[in-house]
Amino acid sequence: MTDIDWDELRHAATAAMERAYAPYSRFKVGAAALVSDGRIVAGCNIENASYGVTLCAECTMVGELFMTGGGQLVAFVCVDGEGKTLMPCGRCRQLLFEHSIPGMLLETVSGIRTIDEVLPDAFGPRDLEEAAR
Ligand code: THU
């Protein structure tokens, strides 16, 4: 696997965070990931007056993943409004799992971890395929 430039990812996540639309929580979030083909995708949270409609930064990042050619996520960073490492919420761990290589790496508050460590025994596409057999 290619070396992961965590500083570059953190920089991309922080730049994305600056574009967040978070007038309700005032909690800006940026996310960035290295894709299997070497490109970097990023996203920011976009809130809504109907609070539950809010898009997390990971959601808009996955949108960019698909809009720029797809692929699988290899390494991921999420930051808060101060640029500090932020853990992806539970729903977004599920979202990341679906689009990550096995063993995708995340920068977490407790160091570099794999997607399986932050979402153990994950439900995923394979469960649906097995049920359909
Ligand atoms: N948020 C994210 O963008 N990603 C996460 O993983 C955690 C939470 C956003 C959603 C909302 O706009 C704000 O942070 C406060 O919850």
Q: What is the pLDDT of residues 56-91, one digit of tens each?
A: 999 999 999 999 999 999 999 999 999 999 999 999
| pLDDT, position 2 | 60
Print pLDDT tens along the chain (133 aa): 468 999 999 999 999 999 999 999 999 999 999 999 999 999 999 999 999 999 999 999 999 999 999 999 999 999 999 999 999 999 999 999 999 999 999 999 999 999 999 999 999 999 999 899 8
Q: What is the pTM of this model?
A: 0.96
Q: Is residue 22 in contact with ligand 1, taking CB distance under 6 Å?
A: yes
Helix (H, G, I), strand (E, B) or coil at 111: strand
Told to judge if 58 belongs to the known catalytic residues of this protein, a careful annotator would answer yes
| 14, 21, 26, 29: residue to mutate for ligand 1 pocket, most atoms within 8 A of CB | 29
> In this structure, how many other beta carbons lie within 10 angstroms of the beta carbon of residue 50?
7
User: Each residue of 82-121: b (16+ CB within 10 Å) or e?
Assistant: eeebbbbeeebbebbbebbeeebbbbbeeeeeebeebbee
**Is residue 123 lining ligand 1, measured as CB closer than 6 Å?**
no
Could you give the CA distance from residue 72 to residue 90 in angstroms, rounded to a whole number? Answer: 19
Q: Is the CB of 27 under 6 A from ligand 1?
A: yes
